[in-house]
Structure 1
Amino acid sequence: MDNRINFHQSLDLLQKDLLDMGNNVARLIRQAVQSLARLDEGLARQTIEEDDQIDEMTARIEEDSLRLIALQQPMASDLRIISMALKIATDLERIADHAVDIAKICIRLNGQELVKPLEDIPRMAELTQNMLQESLLAYTERDVHRAAALAEKDDEVDKLYSVIVNDIIMLMGTDFSKNRQLSQLMLAAHFLERVADHSTNIGEGVIFMVTGKRKDLNV
């Protein structure tokens, strides 16, 4: 009995670490987009440096997950929860990498003025951060309905992404420097769209973890 109590305490701690990691990743996305909107190279470089902490958290979660599997021999239901933690950690690490990608765009645009103030890209970032938080809550609460609702949120992100791409194309002309900046902004929007995809991946994993059935939320 004591072993099972210790196991569930360790499992709760693992999930808390995942939520902490998710909050840090969401912060990096927010910082990266803020750095781009302000063309703040210092904030961009801070975001890139802080990605090392995410890599360390990923390694710790992977180590703790594998230790639980090896030492506790969890039942099938608990094994699915731990396996999902490993998958989520991977998705979160990739999301953090996209924050770094956006921060690097800010650095590449250093010394320029934005063609127009960023409005839709920060809005898109808010939507993706919300999706990330919802996907993690779906996991910790075993909430299939919350996970399934990510499909509608992903559609909203995709629509905004299309608006951004169309607006950028309309702004392009014969000015090479201007077009290069616009291409970089389009790339930033693409990275945010990928963040949304990773969040729906987590949602799909939650549904499978709880029901044993696979559901594609990114259609």
Structure 2
Amino acid sequence: MREHFLHALAELEGQIRDMGNRVSLAVRDALWSLERNEPIFARQIIANDNVIDELRYQIETNALSVITRQQPMARDLRVVSMFLELASELERIGDYAEGIAELVIRCIELPTLEQPPQIKTMALKAQAMLRDALDALHERDPQAAERLEHSDDEIDSLYREVLAWTFATMRSQPDHVERAMYYLWIAHNLERIADRTINIGERTSFIATGIIDKHRLRKDEADKPQA
């Protein structure tokens, strides 16, 4: 029985890793389409989001099957339950990537407006955070969330700068109000990617130690991806 359980757990972890890689690629590609103003590529990202959604469904189905058939003990149940939550976090990050791609398409027909430089910095930091979180999950690194905190604080600060830029642009360039607002929504999605990445770090810590610091866990309220 133990051997069967460990095999099922390894399969679950492999699915999580596959989903994490696909989500990481979706974020990268969405930001590539933003940087190059590429609508065709953006539409492909939107179409591929269904694959990420399906992976979450498969993970949930398999995890529940493991729980009902194997009846894992407390520590093992902790791992399986965290895999369920990790699938949810990754699916949400995929939604934010899809939201960015949809905003790229909306910008195509609008007058040209140079995006604030903070967005590119946010994008690079958010991608680096996600890679770090996924590596930490594979290594069962209990310090992941603490290490990610600094980058998250930087992204929050950059988001506030984009917010200030948006209001200033809307006042000084009324012809660019809509595009400026879309840039703000893109920044919002990047900020939320960082928040969800922190959650991955927190859940990784819980898998490794059995202790979770709940003060950093993000709420679902007001968490709809902007698109």
Asked if TM exceeds 0.5, the reply is yes
Q: Distance in 2 between matches of 1:87 and 1:174?
A: 44
1:9 counterpart letter in structure 2: H
Distance 1:79 1:140 in 2: 18
Q: Deviations for 1:103-158, whole angstroms, at most 9, x for unmatched residues?
A: 11111112235311564323312211222222233333221112321111211211
Matched with 1:101 is 99
- Alignment partners' CA distance in 1, 2:133 and 2:73: 24
Query: What is the TM-score with the length of structure 1 in the denominator?
Result: 0.90
TM-score, normalization by structure 2: 0.87
SS at match of 1:152: helix
Structure 1 unaligned segments of length 5 or more: list them: none
1:46-125 map, 5 Å: 46-117=44-115, 119-125=117-123
Deviations 1:74-119 (A, max 9, x none): 1211111110000010011111111111111111112235311564
1:168-195 per-position Cα deviation (integer Å, ceiling 9, x unaligned): 3333335433011101101100011001
Closer, same or farther in 2 for the Cα pair 1:118/1:39, shift >3 Å?
Answer: farther
Across the two proteins, how many residue pairs are aligned to each other?
Answer: 217
Contact 1:25 1:96 in 2 (8 A): yes
Q: Give 3-state SS (helix, strand or coil) of 2:211's partner.
A: coil
Aligned with 1:149: secondary structure? Answer: helix
Distance 2:20 2:212 in 1: 23
Shift of 1:166: 2.6
The answer to which of 80-89 and 127-136 deviates more is: 127-136
Native 8 Å contact 2:126 2:194 kept in 1: yes
Unaligned runs of 5+ in 2: 219-227
1:160–1:175 distance in 2 versus 1, CA, 3 Å: closer
Q: Distance between the aligned counterparts of 1:212 and 1:195, measured in 2?
A: 25
CA distance in 2, matches of 1:37, 1:169: 22
Greater mean alpha carbon deviation, residues 111-120 or residues 33-42:
111-120
Percent of pairs with identical residues? 38
Which of 165, 187, 190 is the equivalent residue of 1:189? 187
Q: CA RMSD in A?
A: 2.0
